[in-house]
Amino acid sequence: MGTTSGDDPAVDPGPPQMTSSARAPVGPDRPTAPTRPPAQVRALGVAVEAWGRSAGGATRRDDLPWRSTRDAWAVLVSETLAQQTQLSRVVPAYHRFLASFPTASSCAAAPLGDVLRAWEGMGYNRRARNLHLAATALVERHDGQVPDDLAALLDLPGVGPYTARAVLAFAFERDVGVVDTNAGRVLARGVAGQPVRPAEAQGLVDTMVPPGQGWSFGQALLDLGATVCTIRAPDCRACPLRRRCRWALAGRPDPDPARGSAGVSVTQSRFAGSDRQGRGRLVTALRAGPVSPDAIAVAAGWADDPARAERVLRTLEAEGLVVRHSDGTARLP
């Protein structure tokens, strides 16, 4: 994704006006900040949504294939694939997965092993298992259809608050806000000027949604965080909120309010040499076929530590990602 220019004053609501009411602090040493009146929060949302359309397309990233559909299953698949994964890897996987499983019913009818094979290259294989479980639940509870209901979505395996609201906004065009790591940075820096709790972040973003524009606003907010309000080098001059961003107006002081704020992801532990790497290697080997007991350590990349390989394999088995035969041979379900 590339940064874009946001110097059009028509999409900027102007300088901030503060009120004296205060919110509860996020931490014991975090001072409270004055809240914005709801009208100001809504004005920020209007500016974000207008910025999203100002490049001439429906969104700043019309090239993302899931933005051209309102099929709720496809949206759910895209959101599950995109969790903790670079979009450059998600796009081909999205096409490949939907070619194999175009509906929830087709996914539910397939063995989990087939779903794991279609998930190849994406990592975090529990996501594939959860998507398979969600598809099964959709068939059992909703005739294979993704429901247009927050509580019903949250009741699906592996579906959390962000994914549920993303399906509502991006498949059903409901006026609900979405808070992922990109949106969380914008909310903490630009709207609140300090870290916010999950309920506070959700309240802010829901207030920001312009009526009837839940889809376009949500896409714009995610794009703003991904391309402008980035982690290490935010391009404040290109931001449609630049005149009202509390963090920018304060001179971008440390600590960055996005750190520790709701929705903002934390740095992953080192992958190389980790159990996660061994898990991935094992599942990759199992995609090609069963693995005998004497080959498990080599498949995990720990030929000199078979006890570790066995321990990791047992966690995969406990999670339902691996089946063991009586002779110890492992295979996908």
Which residues are catalytically annotated?
Answer: 79
What is residue 34's DSSP assignment? B
Q: In terms of Cα–Cα distance, which of 68, 69, 70 is closest to 172?
A: 70
Give whole-number Cα distances, 194 to 20, 44, 234, 274, in Å. 16, 16, 16, 34
Q: Which helix (H) or strand (E) segment is 324 a member of?
A: strand 323-324
Tokens, residue 84: 């903790």
Helix axes 38-53, 198-208, angle to 10 degrees: 70
For residues 77 and 131, the answer to whether their CB atoms sit within 8 Å is yes
Half-sphere exposure of 326 (CA within 13 A, CB side): 0
Return the SS3 of 11. helix
Q: Residue 270, class by beta-carbon neighbours within 10 Å (0-12 exposed, 13-18 middle, 19+ buried)?
A: exposed
Q: How far apart are CA 12 and CA 243, in angstroms?
A: 7
What number of other Cβ atoms are within 10 A of residue 281's Cβ?
A: 17
What number of other Cβ atoms are within 10 A of residue 4's Cβ?
A: 17
Amino acid at 5: S
Tokens, residue 269: 């532990």
For residues 213 and 49, the answer to whether their CB atoms sit within 8 Å is yes
Which residues make beta-bridge pairs with 80?
A: none
With tokens 């990592």, the residue in question is 123
